[in-house]
Chain A
Amino acid sequence: MGEPYLIGEAMTGGYGKGADILHACTIAVERGEIAVIVGPNGAGKSTAMKAVFGMLDLRSGHVRLDGRDITKLSPQDRVAQGMGFVPQTHNIFGSMTVEENLEMGAFIRRDDFRGTLAQVYDLFPILKDKRHQAAGELSGGQRQQVAVGRALMTQPKVLMLDEPTAGVSPIVMDELFDRIIEVARSGISILMVEQNARQALEIADKGYVLVQGANAFTGTGKDLLENPDVRRSFLGG
């Protein structure tokens, strides 16, 4: 078996000139699979993902996408290379309509993106109903759908989600997870950070438990859920 589709290997670094937050941390995701990063507060989960996306300076380690080294690329360039990123907050254009949000997602595309638009509307039918409404007026769950939809508009190979279910109700969370699985089925790799570790690991092909910026446990979602250490420390028994 070859290398994973996207891998951040032995990443060490922090924000600006600050102290290192990540210590030889490795995160990877296979084509069409779901990888989930979990861990206690302040473990550097979001930081690890941002490192993969190029939002902080790595002191050592590499990021490779489909075998190519992209460590030196800016986040914008990584978008062009097929990575989509959904930030945890401020992830929509609140004053613009749903459809305009999606159009802005496709900003770098010069071809006809109406097909992708239709796919996103198929995935999130509610967005089609509300496409002329300002995104800022939508409910929390719907906004997250807009945010995910916006990132899908570039037709990414990898979709990175930073706590997509933060602040939404359990029902909406399940719904969102279902959609995320659906996206993965269509061949897009998913890398996401989650607070709700148990539910996230249930849908994950691969799980990474980070502690203090380093890999503590790694395994399939199922393994981690069954691992007594992981259960005791992170899943509340």
Chain B
Amino acid sequence: MEFLNGFVALANFVLIPAVAYGSQLALGALGVTLIYGILRFSNFAHGDTMAFGTMCTILVTWWLQGMGVSLGPLPTALLAIPFGIAGCAALILLTDRVVYRFYRVQRVKPVIMVIVSMGVMFIYNGITRFIIGTEDQNFADGERFIIGVRDFKTLTGLDEGLAIRTTQGITVVTAVIVVAALFWFLNRTRTGKSMRAYSDNEDLALLSGINPERVVMVTWLIVAALATIAGVLYGLDKSFKPFTYFQLLLPIFAAAIVGGLGSPLGAIAGGFVIAFSEVGVTYAWKKVLGYWMPESLAPDGLVQLMSTDYKFAVSFVILLIVLLFRPTGLFKGKSV
């Protein structure tokens, strides 16, 4: 019983939040890694791309809510996601046409593209703040919990409660669907394969008659979808604040690099590695250990390895360790 209680506490405070957060990071990192693989630069504007897509979704959500549309227990935002993706895609494609393409044609060094993406980051950030402001926006509606603490306790008779929020459930389910669709697309369709070919060997892809502009366009469309979905899931699970999204850049990049830049599988693995480490290191383990250890050994302190304010430090330390000992990441990434 003690063990089970401890496990439930662990699940409630570490496993479930980390799985949800990991899914969000994985989707974000997939976008980063795709851009790196196809367009060959680290996109500093990705956090703000997520913010913009999410903002579009929120605006449509509010409109739908105003019209009285609802998904019942599910958040209305799910219905608005396609519109958010469309908005985000429009902005990205416009950016590519006006900004990135010029440099792509010249085949500039990747670091120049990174600086260009810094400019894009400023602009996206400005647009998002201009339209929706800098404040927290809550747009989650519907049922709050799939299972609440009290229900869980009565159901199982355990002392410890377990809550699964609807948003956490939706996050994981959506992430699984999106990732499955993405991998099906990349591995099974002609266009998807041509994207992988282009990422693998650009010159040979050109020789094979693959149209680079089309590959780039499809990539941006997928990135728009991934970024918007990741952003909306994160916003539903936590809350939407443009600055937070900008800060997500760090764990997302850490996830992509840890997994191996350019490797979609790596991005997913990296997302979960980062999420579990962040949550695990900043969680106060007193409760779980209290259940699992003999009473005499039970800890006095909180057994919190680091305060939550240091969560960036966690992603960062993992990033450094991986870079120092396995520079191409867990799954072999590209090194352009």
Contacts and interface: CB of A to CB of B under 8 A. Distances in A.
Interface of A: 75-76, 79-80, 85, 87, 90-96, 100, 103-105, 107-108, 150, 154
Nearest to B205: A104
The B interface, classified by DSSP as helix, strand, loop or mixed, is helix
B200 A107 contact: no
Given A96-B197, A100-B193, A107 B208 contact: yes
B209 A80 contact: yes
Given A79-B209, A150-B208, A104 B197 contact: yes
16 contacts: A76-B206, A79-B208, A87-B203, A90-B204, A92-B201, A93-B200, A95-B196, A96-B196, A96-B200, A100-B197, A103-B190, A104-B208, A105-B208, A107-B208, A107-B209, A108-B209
B49 interface: no
Nearest to B37: A95
Interface string B171-196: 00000000000000000001001101
Contact of A85 (B196, B197, B207): B207
B204 A93 contact: yes
Contact of B208 (A90, A94, A95, A108): A108
B132 interface: no
Contacts of A94: 200-201
A80 B196 CA distance: 22
A94 B201 CA distance: 8
Q: Among A87, A95, A104, A105, which residue has the most Cβ atoms of chain B within 10 A?
A: A104
Contacts of B208: 79, 104-105, 107-108, 150
B93 interface: no
A208 to B, nearest CB: 23
Nearest to A84: B207
Contact of A75 (B190, B194, B197, B207): B207
A96 B190 CA distance: 13
Nearest to B210: A107
A90 B197 CA distance: 12
Given A76-B209, A87-B204, A107 B196 contact: no
Given A79-B209, A150-B208, 13 more contacts: A75-B206, A75-B207, A76-B206, A76-B209, A80-B209, A92-B201, A93-B200, A93-B204, A94-B201, A104-B205, A105-B208, A108-B209, A154-B209
